[in-house]
Structure 1
Amino acid sequence: MRALILTGGLGTRLRPLTLALPKPVLPVVNRPFLEHQLLDLRRQGVREVLLATGYKPKAFAKAFGNGHRLGLKLRYAHETRPLGTGGAVRQALSFFKGTTLVLNGDVLQRLDLASFRKRHLDVRAEVSIALTRVADPTQFGLVETNGRGLVKRFLEKPSPEEVTCDTINAGAYLIEPSALDLIPPGVLYSIERGLFPELLKRGRRMAGWVSNGYWLDIGTLDKYLQAHVDGLGGAWPLPLAGLRHKGAFLLDHGARLSPRASHEGRGRVLLGPGTTVEAGARFSGSVCLGADVRVAPGAALNDCVVLDGARIGAESRLDRCLVGRNVRIGAGSVVGPGRALGDGSRLTPFSR
Structure 2
Amino acid sequence: MINTAVMLAGGKGTRLRPLTYTTPKPLLPVGNLPIMDHILSLLHLHGFKKIVIAVNYLAEKIINHLVAKWVDTDLEIVAPLIHPADTADAVRKLSNYIDEDFIVTMGDVITNINLRSFADHHEKNGTLASIALIEVPSLRDFGAVLVDQNGYIYHFLEKPDLQEMYVTSIAFAMLSTRRVNLFANLANSGFYAFKHEILDILEENPHLMDFGKHVFPWLLENGYRISGWYASDAYWVDVGRPATFLRANFDLLDGYAEPLKPYGKAVDGNFFGENVELRHGATIIPPVALGDNVEIDGGAVIGPYAVVGSDTFIGKQTKIRNSVIIGKTTILENVLVENSILAKNILVENDTVIKENSVIGDGVVIRRGSVLGPGATVYISQR
Alignment partners' CA distance in 2, 1:218 and 1:159: 22
Contact 1:83 1:186 in 2 (8 A): no
Alignment partners' CA distance in 2, 1:143 and 1:41: 25
Which of the numbers 312, 326, 342 marks the counterpart of 2:361? 342
Residue 307 of structure 1 aligns with an amino acid whose one-letter code is I
State the Cα distance separating 1:151 from its structure 2 match: 0.7
Alignment partner, residue 112 of structure 1: 114
Residue 207 of structure 1 aligns with an amino acid whose one-letter code is S
Alignment partner, residue 75 of structure 1: 78
State the Cα distance separating 1:68 from its structure 2 match: 2.9
Alignment partner, residue 92 of structure 1: 94
Shift >6 Å, 4+ stretches: 185-188
Alignment partners' CA distance in 2, 1:180 and 1:242: 41
Residue 190 of structure 1 aligns with an amino acid whose one-letter code is D
Q: Judging changes above 3 Å, is the alpha-carbon distance between structure 1 residues 113 and 82 closer, same or farther for their aligned structure 2 residues?
A: closer
Query: Given the two structures, how large is their TM-score scaled by the length of structure 1?
Result: 0.93
Deviations 1:181-239 (Å, cap 9, x if unpaired)? 33247778112211111001011011000112110000111111111111112212344
Contact 2:351 2:370 in 1 (8 A): yes
Q: Judging changes above 3 Å, is the alpha-carbon distance between structure 1 residues 11 and 242 closer, same or farther for their aligned structure 2 residues?
A: closer
Alignment partners' CA distance in 2, 1:230 and 1:239: 9
Q: Judging changes above 3 Å, is the alpha-carbon distance between structure 1 residues 304 and 242 closer, same or farther for their aligned structure 2 residues?
A: closer
The gaps in structure 1 that reach 5 residues or longer are none
Contact 2:253 2:262 in 1 (8 A): no
1:37 aligns with 2:58: no
Alignment partners' CA distance in 1, 2:287 and 2:302: 9
1:122 aligns with 2:124: yes
State the Cα distance separating 1:60 from its structure 2 match: 1.3
Alignment partners' CA distance in 2, 1:186 and 1:57: 24
1:294 aligns with 2:296: no
Alignment partner, residue 60 of structure 1: 62
Alignment partner, residue 175 of structure 1: 194
1:221 aligns with 2:224: no
Alignment partner, residue 205 of structure 1: 225
Alignment partner, residue 276 of structure 1: 295
Q: Judging changes above 3 Å, is the alpha-carbon distance between structure 1 residues 117 and 232 closer, same or farther for their aligned structure 2 residues?
A: same
Alignment partner, residue 232 of structure 1: 253
Alignment partner, residue 13 of structure 1: 15
Residue 159 of structure 1 aligns with an amino acid whose one-letter code is D
Contact 1:141 1:169 in 2 (8 A): yes
Equivalent residues, number: 348
The gaps in structure 2 that reach 5 residues or longer are 167-181, 372-383
**Percent of residue pairs bearing the same amino acid type:** 28
Q: Judging changes above 3 Å, is the alpha-carbon distance between structure 1 residues 183 and 98 closer, same or farther for their aligned structure 2 residues?
A: same
State the Cα distance separating 1:302 from its structure 2 match: 0.9
Contact 1:51 1:74 in 2 (8 A): yes
Q: Judging changes above 3 Å, is the alpha-carbon distance between structure 1 residues 244 and 202 closer, same or farther for their aligned structure 2 residues?
A: closer
Alignment partners' CA distance in 1, 2:262 and 2:145: 36
Task: Please report the RMSD computed on the Cα atoms of aligned residues, expressed in angstroms.
Answer: 1.9
Contact 1:84 1:188 in 2 (8 A): no
Deviations 1:217-271 (Å, cap 9, x if unpaired)? 00111111111111112212344675262x444321111112422234xx51111
Alignment partners' CA distance in 2, 1:103 and 1:224: 18
Contact 1:32 1:63 in 2 (8 A): no
1:151 aligns with 2:172: no
Provide the secondary structure at the position in 2 that maps to 1:40: helix
Contact 2:333 2:350 in 1 (8 A): yes
Alignment partners' CA distance in 1, 2:303 and 2:32: 19
Alignment partner, residue 370 of structure 2: 351
Alignment partners' CA distance in 2, 1:37 and 1:349: 40
Contact 1:7 1:106 in 2 (8 A): yes
Alignment partner, residue 51 of structure 1: 53
Provide the secondary structure at the position in 1 that maps to 2:44: helix
State the Cα distance separating 1:317 from its structure 2 match: 0.5
Which of the numbers 106, 114, 137 marks the counterpart of 1:135? 137
Which of the numbers 265, 279, 298 marks the counterpart of 1:243? 265
